[in-house]
Every structure is written in structure tokens, then in C-alpha cells.
Amino acid sequence: MQISPLGHAKRLSRALGTERRLLSTSKLKPALGFGITPVNGHVRYTWTSESGWDQGQVLTSPFINLHVNAGVLHYGLAVFEGLKAFEAQDGDHYVCNPAANAARMREGARRLCMPEVPEEIFVSAVAEAVSLNREFIPDYESGGALYIRPLLFASGTMLPLKRTDQFSLVVSATPVGNYFAGSTAGVSAAVVELDRAAPRGTGAVKAAGNYASDMYGLQKATEAGCDTSLYLDALHHRYIEEFSVANFVGIKDGVYVTPKTDSVLPSITNKMLMTLAREQGMTVEERPVDFHEEIEQFQEVAGSGTAVVLSPCASILRVKTGRKYEFGPLNQLAGLRDRLVRIQRGEEDNSFEWMMPIPREGHILNAAELDPERVLRRMLCAVSSEELATAKAEVTPEEGKDSVVNDEEQKGEVALKHLYDRLAGSYQKAGGGRVVAAAHCSSLLLNHLPVSRRGHVLDAGAGTGEAGAILKGAGVDALTAFDLSDNMLDEVALLITDPFQ
């Protein structure tokens, strides 16, 4: 049986009916909090002192195998980033300002004497991770996002305190909602008598150890009945530094005020908000902020960062004195936040060029551990009504000995079993599905996969392009084009070739 090209997948949505209901593999969408949701996989690049950065790989297992003496485990050599991907109003997907995160990670790598990640590798890894897990990007209507976590760490062994010969960059993703979901009226913060970072220390980079040191401060804030912690400077214990996971932002007599010190992580979200504030004529001050002298003068206070966006702060408790300072609801800051969100969700023009589109094609998935059942069922979803009708016509009376196959639904089930068996035979013959690929954007990585690992390829999108040529040259036939996300079947173009030859 020859499978003909389907063209655009909207044809497919009209063709599927009962068959799609029988074969659906869609996941129940979890409630959007801020935690870890199992996804399709993550991206990993490895640097060695001999070869530099490799070509990267996509892994389906959420676990990492490390030597017991890996440097990250003993000496905490790690920096990370946080950024988000959004579904826009038109259904397209965008990542917010990845170049800025790439630059900040390079600063952190220099400070911790780790190899810098070139921007092209960082951005490519982020795009691959998003494309790989596209089906987990929350719907536009949900208000959520796909949180992306690039992590650079010492994966090589270290006993003496000197640079190891191997480092890894991993980029994972998970769908999220509001970081402070339970504090809709505004969070409460506690000034704890602890130091987050010292002058000339690592406070200005996103070093993993900075957050470990905050755990005790968060515990003390919670014991004081507050949602988060606020730190003052380590030298004078007088000037505001930052909240636990966010920059401090305040409105004082119409002026946008945020601390500037060498021990505060520069928030990319805060920088974008300052750009918007300046554009609309607000005065922006990045300067030391004296807690003792100024805290009562702020009309609005919020925490700014990728995870929290711009979260209102309702009150700040100075634990040492027991005095609480309260603030009004966000007004000017709310306007800035809402505009940034509109840009992120495609409701306003991307004039600042912060939003990077993620094309529908372009991820590869090393599917060595991908459930073959799921792959085969997704392949069956690419069967047209005409092809199913042909398969139904091939159902013989002998196949109905144990069941009546006169009605169309039962014939359809038998026909689908035939198709499944034939697809399974082709799938197994081709090597069991080592790689699920999505077209020319993945050609670079495909080209560097050993031939023995290319195995069977499901090539989505532009399968006849550069990636298709690479695969053909390796003697691998593209079987079918599909997307891992059921809810995108109406939006991606599919190219079907004969899987039964």
C-alpha cells in the first residue's frame, strides 16, 4: 500500500475521527504551578580540554550520570540561567531574550573559571530544548510559559582545586505558572540578618552556590511568617541588595528605583522593564538604596526576575526590630509589567527584538529510550481516511472468526491493527527508532551523529531538505513526518513516504 503525501495537516484533522480518538496519546495538562513536570527530554553539550565544545545531543532520560568526584558535586562549580518560551496570540512560539542570558552565562563562566559557552551554541541549545518540548508550552490563554533552565557545570573529576578537563551544558525545560501562586495580593518579605553575597564575591553572577546560601535565609523568613527573604548589603547592613530570587524594584514619587551594587545579579527582566520605563518618559535610577532612610518613601515595591516577572510586594518585615513596612498595589509598575507581557505574548510589536521565534521544524530527539508504542501510535495518526478505507477493504471474513467485523468501527480497529503491524515491522527493521528528527534546522546535529546511531528516522517538516540529503547519503529512509504534540497536528505540514517498502 502506497502512502501518498498529505500536504498540510489540516487535511489530517478532517480525516481522523474515530481513529484519532482510538489512538490519542495526548497528555492531561497539569495545573500550572512552579515545579518539575516530566517532558520529552533535554539538550546536552560537552566541552573537553582536548576538543572544546562538541556538537551536542538530545537525551530523553532526565537523569545525568556523573563520576562520584565530579567537580560540581564537591566544589559547586556551576552557573545557570532562567528564561521562558511563550505561546503568542497567533499560536506561534517565542523565547524571550536568549542572547542576554547567553551573555550573562559567559560572565558567570569567566568568574568561576569555566569555559564560556558561545552565543550560537547557547541559543541553539535553547531552541532545540523548546522545540523538543513544544507540546508542553502552556496555551496562550493559560498565561503560563515554558521555563528553560540552561546549566553549565564541571562534569569532569576534581580532587585538587584546579580546572577540570570536562564541563557540560544542559538545557532542560518545564511548564510553569506563577512563582508566587499563593500570594495574589502581594508577597511578604522579611529582612533577615544574614548575608547573601559579599563585596567582590560572586553575587553578580548566577552561581549555583548563591542560591544554596539563601536556603537558610528563606527558612528564617518563613519562620517569621513571610513568603520570601530580602537582603541588605554585607558591609554596612544598610543598603538594599535583592530579594531571594528577584531584584528589588520600587516606585518613589514616580521614579523607577532599583539597587545597583557589585553583589547583585543584574536581572534581564529588570533591564527590559527599565527600557520600557525610559521609553515612556519615566526617570530610572540605578543606585544604592538606603533601607533605613528610604523604605517608607516607596509607594510601590516589587520583585523582578524571569521566574516572578514583576511580583508585587505587599509588606517588608525587619525581623530584628519587628517593624513592618506596607506598600500599595502596583500602578505604574503594573503598567510596565503588562506591556512586557504583551510583548512576550505577541500582542504588541517586537520592536526591541527581544522575542526569538521557534520555527515549527527544527528539533532532534535521540529516541533510544523513547517508548516505541508511542512512536507507532503517532505514526498511525498520520494515516488518512482514504488509506484507512483501503485497509478496511482488505479485512477478510476469516479475521472475524472471534468477533463480528461487519460494522465500520470494528473494521476500522482490525484495519488499524494491520497498519500497526506493518509499521512496526518497518520500524523494527530500520533499527528501532534511535532518532526522531525535525528537518533542516537539525541537520548540523544529524550530520555529527554516528551512522550507527542514526538508525530509523522520523523526519518532520522539510524532510527533503539538507537533513533529508544527509540521511539519504547514510542509507536511511525518512519514514514519516509527525510532531510529538497532538495539539499541533492542525498546524504543522506533514510529508509522508512509503513506510512499507
Query: What is the torsional sign of CA 124, 125, 129, 130?
Result: negative
At 279, which helix (H) or strand (E)?
helix 268-279
At 175, which helix (H) or strand (E)?
strand 166-176
Question: DSSP per residue over 58-104, as a string?
Answer: EES-S-----TTBHHHHH--EEE--EEEEE-TTS-EEEE-HHHHHHH
206 is catalytic: yes
| Grid cell for residue 404 | 463480528
- φ and ψ of 280, to 5 deg: -95, 15
Q: HSE-up of 115 (CA within 13 Å, CB side)?
A: 23
Tell me the C-alpha distance between 260 and 251, whole Å: 15
- Out of 84, 206, 392, 411, the active site residue is 206
Q: Residue 221 CB: number of other CB atoms within 10 A?
A: 25
At 258, which helix (H) or strand (E)?
strand 255-258
Q: What is the Rg, in whole angstroms, of the alpha carbon atoms belonging to the chain?
A: 26
* C-alpha 295 chain-centroid distance: 36
> 325 burial class (0-12, 13-18, 19+ CB within 10 angstroms)?
middle
Tell me the C-alpha distance between 432 and 372, whole Å: 7
Least Cα distance to 274 among 315, 302, 297 occurs for 302
For cell 533510544, what's the residue? 368
Least Cα distance to 495 among 445, 440, 455 occurs for 440
Residue type, 396: T
**Alpha helical stretches, state H, 306-437:** 332-344, 372-380, 385-393, 408-429
| Cβ proximity of 260 and 301 under 8 Å | no
Tell me the C-alpha distance between 349 and 29, whole Å: 29
Least Cα distance to 98 among 89, 110, 86 occurs for 86
Tell me the C-alpha distance between 400 and 396, whole Å: 7
Helix (H, G, I), strand (E, B) or coil at 380: helix
The residues annotated with a catalytic role in the active site are 206
